[in-house]
Structure 1
Amino acid sequence: MNTYIDIGINLTNKQFYNEHDEIINRALDSGVEHIILTGTSVRGSRTSAEIAEEYPEILFSTAGIHPHDATSFAPENIRELRTLLKKDHVVSVGECGLDFDRDFSPRPIQEKCYQAQLELAIEVDKPLFLHERSAFKRFNEITDDYLSRLPEAVVHCFTGTLDEAKVYLDKGFYLGFTGAISDEKRFKQLEDVIKYTPLDRMMIETDAPFMLPKNMPRIRNRRNEPSFLPYVAQTIALFKRISLSEVAEETTETSRNFFRL
């Protein structure tokens, strides 16, 4: 059986309430051997770390403040994130970045929150789990100020253009791909992005319960989950005209090395 690593799942989402064992067992049965839980706030990062601790060597987590939650940002938040990141199973700083699409937090606050987490990643020397939506220019202006000192970084759930992908790849960043790559109506441009991006610079994720792949059989419950990750890999194999096993092997090795699992 092919094995996979899901680099991003929102297991603290209420859609997964009281189902952790079932979700994880279905993932393992589908070859998903490691799952990284995304922290999007201090509270959520704490909860994700607690859940991951209950499933050693299977679950890991990130610790960060999503731009949607940037209004909660305060200096003491960074202290709490720093404490979480001292744990071995908390493997990455984030999800952090800028989101000018929905603007749930004022842009100046988003920027300060992002800068603080870039500095934190440099300090703790753990890789970055990045979020960018409709903020490409400003996101890169801020990031470039720190680029020479940054640890490795992945732009998660990438749905941008080929030109944007090239900029990120030229910086040395990795790209995380979700079921969005199989959505020809909304994200047709991602086929060219997949074809261009070297396989060893890709990681795959479900971003569950969101981003349900379009290339899987219709299901009554439209909720995404880690057991569906192979459908993301299948789309990459199709676009790149390579075997599914090659996608699985390369993305798993890349993810394991990136997050130091």
Structure 2
Amino acid sequence: MPQYMDIAVNLIGSTLEKDLDGVINRALLHHVSPLIVIGSNIDESQQAQQVCLCYPNQLYTTAGIHPHHAKEWDEQSSEAIRTLALTQQVKAIGECGLDYNRDYSPRPQQRHAFAKQLELACELNMPVLMHERDAHQDFIAILSEYRPHLPKALLHCFTGHREALLKYIEQDLYIGVTGWVCDERRGTELAQIVPDIPNDRILIETDSPYLLPRSMRPKPKSNKNEPQYLPYIVDYVAKLRAQPTALFADQVYQNSLAFFGLKQ
């Protein structure tokens, strides 16, 4: 059976948090393990690191401040993330980046928090997990300044257009693809360009509990996405790329291990 790793799970601060054991065990039954828990602000990153201690080798996490929370960035933020990053459970800096779609934080503060976290990832020689929505030009301008000094960089939940994808491939980014690609309303362009992602740079994720694949039948009664559904997305993307599912699944799993520096 293929092995899978879900590289973006919003386990803390979401509806999944009420059923940690259930989420983890249902994922394991579908050969999805480990799970990478996303930290979107300091408190959440600290909670995620503590939860990971209870599930060794099953959960790892990131530590960072999402652009939605960029207005929370202060002089203590870098040190708080640095402290978390020195623990065995934290495998990447982030989720950081820019989101001009929602603008929950002022754009200058988003750009500042993004740059500071890239700077920290360079200093610590750690991978960075990034978010970008409707902010391609500013995102690429900031990222380009730090990219030569970053060991690995992942743009998770990519939903952009072909021109943006080609720019990110030029920057040698890993590209995370979610169930968005299964959406016949919003995901048609992504479905067309997903074959353009290099074999050694594509990662598959759920971003659960969000982005439940619309094409899934039967639909879960909860209408909530979970890591257990990752194999469905892998199979869907493999077909778009005209690749055998088992071989593609193994490639994605190896890519995930490589990005987070984990052993099989």
TM exceeding 0.5: yes
Question: Do the aligned partners of 2:13 and 2:44 also contact (CA within 8 Å) in 1?
Answer: no
Q: Amino acid of the residue matched to residue 132 of structure 1?
A: E
For 1:17 and 1:133, locate their aligned partners in 2 and report how far apart those are by CA, in whole Å: 25
For 1:89 and 1:192, locate their aligned partners in 2 and report how far apart those are by CA, in whole Å: 36
| Gap runs ≥5 in structure 1 | none
1:229 aligns with 2:230: yes
1:79 aligns with 2:79: yes
Note the alpha carbon deviations across 1:156-215, whole angstroms, 9 max, x for none: 000001111111011110100110011121120012221111221100110000010123
Q: How many angstroms does 1:135 deviate by?
A: 0.3
Question: Do the aligned partners of 2:14 and 2:209 also contact (CA within 8 Å) in 1?
Answer: no
Question: Do the aligned partners of 2:126 and 2:150 also contact (CA within 8 Å) in 1?
Answer: no
Question: Do the aligned partners of 1:13 and 1:209 also contact (CA within 8 Å) in 2?
Answer: no
For 2:45 and 2:113, locate their aligned partners in 1 and report how far apart those are by CA, in whole Å: 15
RMSD: 0.9
For 2:2 and 2:91, locate their aligned partners in 1 and report how far apart those are by CA, in whole Å: 24
Question: Do the aligned partners of 1:181 and 1:190 also contact (CA within 8 Å) in 2?
Answer: yes
Name the TM-score, length of structure 1 as normaliser: 0.98
Q: How many angstroms does 1:18 deviate by?
A: 2.7
For 1:215 and 1:256, locate their aligned partners in 2 and report how far apart those are by CA, in whole Å: 28
What SS class does the counterpart of residue 33 from structure 1 fall into? strand
Match of 1:190 in 2: 190
Question: Do the aligned partners of 1:215 and 1:231 also contact (CA within 8 Å) in 2?
Answer: no
For 1:121 and 1:7, locate their aligned partners in 2 and report how far apart those are by CA, in whole Å: 18
Q: How many angstroms does 1:151 deviate by?
A: 2.1
Q: Percent identity?
A: 38
What SS class does the counterpart of residue 75 from structure 1 fall into? coil
What SS class does the counterpart of residue 189 from structure 1 fall into? helix
For 2:51 and 2:157, locate their aligned partners in 1 and report how far apart those are by CA, in whole Å: 23
Q: How many angstroms does 1:52 deviate by?
A: 1.2
For 1:252 and 1:170, locate their aligned partners in 2 and report how far apart those are by CA, in whole Å: 23
Q: How many angstroms does 1:145 deviate by?
A: 1.5
For 1:220 and 1:237, locate their aligned partners in 2 and report how far apart those are by CA, in whole Å: 26
| Gap runs ≥5 in structure 2 | none
Question: Do the aligned partners of 2:178 and 2:233 also contact (CA within 8 Å) in 1?
Answer: yes
Match of 1:34 in 2: 34
Q: How many angstroms does 1:123 deviate by?
A: 0.9
For 1:183 and 1:54, locate their aligned partners in 2 and report how far apart those are by CA, in whole Å: 35
Note the alpha carbon deviations across 1:100-156, whole angstroms, 9 max, x for none: 111000000111101110000001111010000000001111111112212210100
Q: Amino acid of the residue matched to residue 223 of structure 1?
A: K
For 1:16 and 1:135, locate their aligned partners in 2 and report how far apart those are by CA, in whole Å: 29
Name the TM-score, length of structure 2 as normaliser: 0.97
